[in-house]
Structures are given as structure tokens and as C-alpha cells.
Amino acid sequence: MASVVSAPRDALNVAAIRQDFPILRQRVHGKPLVYLDNAATTQKPQAVIDALQRYYSEENANVHRGVHSLSGRATDAYDAAREDVRRFINAADAREIVFVRGTTEGINLVAQTWGRARVGAGDEIVLTEMEHHSNIVPWQILCEEKGARLRVAPITDAGELRLDELERLLNARTRLVAVAHVSNVLGTVNPVAEIVRLARARGIPVLVDGAQAVAHMPVDVQALGCDFYAFSGHKVLGPTGIGVLYGRRELLEAMPVYQGGGGQIGSVTFDRTTYAPLPYKYEAGTPNIAGVIGLAAAIDYVTGVGLDRIAAYERDLCAYATSALADVPGLRLTGTARDRASVLSFVLGDVHPHDIGTILDREGVAIRAGHHCCQPLMRRLGVPATARASLALYNTRQEIDTLVAALQRVGEVFE
Amino acid sequence: MNPELSPHRAGVRGGDPDLQDLYQEVILDHNRRPRNFRAFDAGRRAEGFNPLCGDRITVFLNVDNGVIRDVAFQGSGCAISKASASLMTESVKGKTLDEAQVLFERFQQMITAPADAPVESLGKLTVLAGVRQFPVRVKCASLAWHTLRAAVDARDEVVSTE
């Protein structure tokens, strides 16, 4: 069952990395925790936990408000974090980084500002069959309001996007292409740069849902060429409730504001309000300062390990897991794209994924079971639900072996 | 582990007594061969849905003079939800609507009781008492019953566990 892929020479030291994640030391039902639900949320290294603790113990104050020292320190940390994020995704300008609650809010922001200004009756928004509900529903809401419609690019049975079909959907009425960088169910890595090239040639902007990508591979928004890129902090070792919307400056400048309130204004009278410059224009109200600082600590952590090394390690582990799972009687992988990252969805005979999830949990193995917020994709795959094991940099081959042994146990119960 | 839970643990060999309580042979059997798993042109029907996991069930109900003459179900779900629906149809058939309602309440109490509380016998339904050790699976076991109650009330809406 061992993979023949050899580890790169400067392979990451997974044993040392595991030491950085206190939650991984615990036992569940008397068994060592095997956490394979990283596509839902990732665990946090001590550096992130410490950053949150330090902020609340030593720096807590509102940002961009006070003249006092604490407020100055909090503001410095907050602004420095924006620069960290810029570097992390190689945006051209830190003003292109808008802090939001997560990927979902980032996409909703674009739908409710850019979308409301630019999408009209009869216009079309192109998605793919593998999108998460958070990259479907905001567009549906917009379409209902505007009398526009969604067009959906199909996937192959292996779970790869039909790029030719997507291209066929692009026309003079297409206002936006919205696509996942990495599918949260199939693990498919979509050819975003190629999609952008097709769309750009027709003057169509592209939004990328990067929720499942940023923790697993280097992301360069300028190389991708996309117009918007959204991701969540908690899926890249950071806290929940903080995320990022990247938008090209030219678009962000032109778009109407999102929410109104403090911190986002230039001047206010009862007759008229002018707005603050980018990025504050989109950040009304006291932001999630601790979340931003925690996110910066998470980004420092993953960039310290190296996204290239993380990607190489996880690809090797994913290949190992793919061949190990193939040996489980009755198991079928849903999602066998050539370019796949860190996600393994499967069905096991006619055993329902929830029953698999419960039995695995008793062995200490945490996976996700269900529709993964992708009901249209489940219908396309012809299954009501799947079981999903999703990897992160701290997972090991030994843990994959534990998963496989636990799946044998499922087979015994339901034989 | 609660020693009062049914001793029929043939479904799961070795090791984990809580898992044995959950996946008893009777439950596995009803999952494999669900009883009254069919549709009919009913006077009343209702759909149940668990948005968290996507489980769906339709309950068909024929009531005559306050008595459940026929009841059946269709849908997709986990072993617990399917077995629970199957056992429910067997246990409410021939009962009055009031009796079915009382049974639902007692069933709900049984599956949500603390893990170490004594188990009150509910006939065949007692095999589902093991669900109480798995709080996240309680909704799987109760979906069919919520849907049955919607069918009784003939509410023209999809019932949700949320």
C-alpha cells in the first residue's frame, strides 16, 4: 500500500509540526485523535493561540480611533497584518485587501456591491457544478433581484471542470465567472489561470473562492490574474470569524460601499456622506482586530514552514491515502481528478456516510459526512452524501493507516 | 455503557459496547430490509428533511376514524434514520392518533435521556435506546416521527429537524 513517491530532500518535519498543535495531543474515546476534517476547519498552532492571548492581555484597544498608546499599538498590529496578507497572496497593493468574516462574506460583499451595480435583467453569471453553497446562493439572491440568471459549467465523472463547456457559456451577457480554486468535496484544483484567460479575452471578471486552496498551495493572485479572491482565516490555521476579500484596486475603487457605519466614512452630515479610501470603505464598524492579528500569526506560521513544502508533503500524503483507500473493499472515491489537493471523498458500499462517521469517531478518527454544502454537486454525483477525509500539513501516513483500519471496522459492522 | 440496553448485540463484534448498543442486529436488519418501505396514494403525507446531513423522508398515512390504518415511508438516510422509520411504521399501525402521539413522546424521552438513566421498555422501539449515547444522532432517530406528526396534522410543508 506504500506510495512510491519519495519525499523531497527538504521535506517538512511533521513530528515537529505536530508539537505546535496542542489539540492534537488529546484522545477521543480513548484513542489518539486523528483529525481529518481540515476542509471544514483546521487546527490552530500555539503561535496563533499565543497571538490572540497576547493581543487581549497586552494590546487590546480600538483601531484608528484613539490617540493613546494602546490604540496606536493595536492599529500598528492591525495594519501590519494587512501587509502580511498582501504578501501572502502577492497582491499588488495592501489596499486591495479587505477584511471580512470569511469566504462567505467576501463573496456576498462582491454580489451585493459590484453585482448590484453591474448585473441587470437578462445578464448571466457563470458558475461550475462543483461550487459550495456560498458561491451559489449569493449569486442566486442577486439574480432574483435583478432578473439575471445562473449558467452552470458541468464537470466530468472524474470531477474535472469541462473547460470547453465553460468557454461555451461565455457570451455578451456574461457579467462574471465565479469558481472554486479547489473543490471542497472532490479536491479538484481548477485551472484558474486558464479560466481567467478565457474570461479576460471577453472582458469578463473572475471571482475565485479560495477557501480550500490557501492552506495547501502557494497562491499568487497576480499570476492567477483573477479580479476577486476570497478566503477564510480558520481554514488556514487562523481563528474563525476572519477572512479576506482581495479585489483589484480599479474594481474596488469603482464599487459602491457594502455596509455603512463607523470607520468607513470620510465625513458625515445628515445630507450626505463621503467614504474613506480603500480598504476602509468596505470595513464599517469596529473590525475583528483579534481575528486579524491571529490570521497574521497563522500566515507567518504557514509561510515559515513554506507553502511549497506543504504542497509537496500533502500531495505525497494524498497519493498515499488514495492508494490506501483503494484497498478498502467496497470503497469508491468520488473525485479522481488528475490535479487534486488534500481532499478524499468516498462512499463505502451502501453504508450511509453518517454511519461511517459515527463508527470512525469511536476509533478517534474525525471525518466529515454529509453533503458538504454542495447539494447540487451531490445530485450530479448521484449520491445523497459522501464521507470526506481532508488533510493538512500535520497529518501523517500513520493516521491514514488508522483511517483505513477504522474503515475495515465499518465493513465488519455492516457486512 | 448502560447494562439495561437490549442484549442483542450481534451486529457489532468485539470492543465497543456503545457502538454495539447503537448498531444492534435488529437495527441493521431494518436498515437492510426496511418494512413498509413504499408509497401509496394516501389521504395524508408529509416530507421530512434534515438540512444538516441531507436526509429526506416521505411518510404516507391513511387514517380512518382516528385510527392509523396504513403507514409507509420512502426516502434516503443513514441506518439509524431508516431503521427508526421502519420500526415506527410497525409500531404505530393500528394505533389511534392519540396513542401514536403518546408513543412519540415516550420515544423522544427514551432517546434523549441521560446515558445512565434506566431504560423504559417501548417494545420493539427499545432497540433505539442506544442512540442516547450518541447525541449527534438523535435527530436521525427522530426525523421519521416528526414527519409522521406533520402528516397527522396534514401540514403542507417540509418538516425540518432544524
For A118-162, the pLDDT digits (tens) are: 999 999 999 999 999 999 999 999 999 999 999 999 999 999 999
Residue A128 has φ and ψ, to the nearest 5°, of: -125, 165
pLDDT, residue A196, reads 98
Please report the beta strands in chain B, taking only residues with DSSP state E, as ranges in sequence order: 44-50, 55-64, 67-76, 158-160
Q: For residue A196, what are the β-bridge partners?
A: none
**Cα B3 to the center of its chain, rounded Å:** 22
A355 contact residues in B (CB cutoff 8 A): 23, 78-80
Question: Is B8 a residue whose pLDDT tops 80?
Answer: no
Alpha-carbon Rg of chain B, whole angstroms?
Answer: 15
Tell me if B18 and A362 make a contact (CB, 8 A cut-off): yes
Give the containing element (helix H, strand E) for A48.
Answer: helix A46-54
Residues in chain B with CB shorter than 8 Å from the CB of A385 are 53-54
Closest in A352, A362, A369 to B19, CB measured: A362
Contact A369 B53 (CB under 8 A): yes
Q: Would residue B75 count as lying in a domain?
A: yes
**The predicted structure's pLDDT at residue A3:** 43
Interface of B with A (CB under 8 A): 11-13, 16, 18-19, 22-23, 28, 52-56, 76-80, 82, 134, 136-137, 140
Q: Looking at the predicted structure, is the pLDDT value of residue A30 above 70?
A: yes
Mean pLDDT value across residues A384-390: 95
Q: Which residues of A touch B76 (CB under 8 A)?
A: 384
Is A413 exposed, middle or buried (CB count within 10 Å of its CB: 0-12, 13-18, 19+)?
Answer: buried
Residue A120 backbone class (left: φ over 0; alpha: ψ -120 to 50; beta: rest)? beta
| A-interface mutation test, from B28, B55, B78, most A Cβ less than 10 A away | B78
Q: Which of A226, A318, A373, A374 is catalytic?
A: A373
| Contact residues on chain B for A29, CB-CB shorter than 8 A | 16
Sheet of B67-76: strands edge to edge? B67-76, B55-64, B44-50, B158-160
pLDDT beyond 80 at B7:
no
Domains identified in chain B, total number: 1
Question: Residue B10 — very low, low, confident or very high, per pLDDT cuts 50/70/90?
Answer: very low
pLDDT at B107 exceeding the cut of 80: yes
pLDDT at B21: 86
Where residue A4 falls among pLDDT bands split at 50, 70, 90? very low
Q: What is the pLDDT of residues A58-113, one digit of tens each?
A: 999 999 877 899 999 999 999 999 999 999 999 999 999 999 999 999 999 999 99
The confidence score (pLDDT) of residue B156 equals 52
Range of the domain at B128: 17-160
What pLDDT, on the 0 to 100 scale, is given for residue B12? 57
| Domains of chain A, CATH where assigned | 14-44+306-410 (3.90.1150.10), 49-304 (3.40.640.10)
Give the CA-trace dihedral at A48, A51, A52, A55, to 10 degrees. Answer: -170
| pLDDT above 90: residue B13 | no
ipTM entry: 0.85
Q: Give CA–CA dist A136/A60, Å, rounded.
A: 37
In a domain, B126, yes or no: yes
What is the C-alpha to C-alpha distance for residues A411 and A401, in angstroms, rounded to an integer?
Answer: 15
- pLDDT (0 to 100) of residue A64: 83
| Res B55: pLDDT | 85
pLDDT given at position B66: 92
- Residue A48: left (phi > 0), alpha (psi -120 to 50), or beta? alpha
- Residues with Cβ within 8 Å of residue A415, at least 6 apart in sequence: none
Sequence-distant (6+) residues with CB within 8 A of A134 are A103, A104, A107, A209, A211, A373
For residue B6, what are the contacts with CB-CB under 8 A and spacing of at least 6? Answer: B21, B24, B26, B126, B127, B129, B130
B148 occurs within a structural domain: yes
User: Are B56 and A359 in contact (CB < 8 Å)?
Assistant: no
Residue A184 has pLDDT above 70, yes or no: yes
Rounded CA-CA distance A56/A239 in Å is 14
Residue B55 in domain: yes
Interface contact A384-B140, CB threshold 8 A:
no
Q: Does A379 contact B at CB distance below 8 Å?
A: no
Rounded to an integer, what is the distance from CA A64 to the centroid of its chain?
29
In angstroms, the Cα distances linking A63 to A51, A67, A120, A300, B80 are: 17, 10, 38, 22, 51
For the segment A224-264, what is each residue's pLDDT rounded down to a tens digit?
A: 999 999 999 999 999 999 999 999 999 999 999 999 998 88
Q: How far is B58 from chain A (nearest CA, A)?
A: 15
The interface residues of chain A toward chain B in range 27-56, judged by CB-CB distance below 8 A, are 29
Measured between CA atoms, how close is B143 to chain A, in angstroms? 14
A373 is catalytic: yes
The CA distances from residue A283 to A83, A105, A106, A241, A245, in Å, are 16, 12, 11, 14, 11
List CB contacts of A239: < 8 A, sequence separation 6 or more.
A44, A48, A52, A233, A290, A291, A294, A295, A298
**Mean pLDDT over all residues of chain A?**
95
Contact check, Cβ <8 Å, B78/A359: no
Query: Does a structural domain hold residue B26?
Result: yes
A190 CB burial (10 A radius; 0-12, 13-18, 19+):
buried
Measured between CB atoms, does A414 come within 8 Å of chain B? yes
pLDDT for the residue numbered A2: 42
Q: How far apart are CA B88 and CA B37, in angstroms?
A: 11
pLDDT at A342 over 70: yes
Q: Which residues of A touch B80 (CB under 8 A)?
A: 354-355
Comparison of pLDDT for B51 and A71, the residue scoring more: A71
Query: What pLDDT, on a 0 to 100 scale, did the predictor assign at position A415?
Result: 79
Domain-located, residue B1: no
Cα distances (angstroms) measured from residue A13 to each of A7, A309, A319, A327, A342? 11, 10, 18, 28, 18
Given this model, what pLDDT does residue A205 score?
98
Q: Does some domain include residue B12?
A: no
How far apart (Å, rounded) are the C-alpha atoms in residues A232 and A89?
A: 13
- Chain A residues whose CB is inside 8 A of the B53 CB are 354, 369-371, 385
What is the mean predicted confidence (pLDDT) over B104-132? Answer: 93
Give me the residue from A358, A362, A385 closest to B54, CB to CB: A385
**pLDDT given for residue B2 in this prediction:** 56
According to DSSP, residue A335 is labeled -
Residue B160 pLDDT > 50: yes
Chosen for mutation from B16, B24, B134, B139 (greatest number of chain A CBs closer than 10 Å) is B16
Here the CATH number for the domain that contains residue B34 is 3.90.1010.10
Alpha-carbon distance A285 to A99, whole Å? 12
Cell reading at A169: 457559456
The dihedral sign for the CA sequence A133, A135, A141, A143: negative
A378 contacts B54? CB cut-off 8 A: yes
Question: Considering chain B, what is the average pLDDT of its residues?
Answer: 87
Helix segments in A101-254, DSSP class H:
103-110, 116-118, 137-146, 163-169, 192-200, 221-224, 249-254
Confidence band, pLDDT 50/70/90 cuts, at residue B161: low
Flag if B12 and A358 touch (Cβ within 8 Å): no
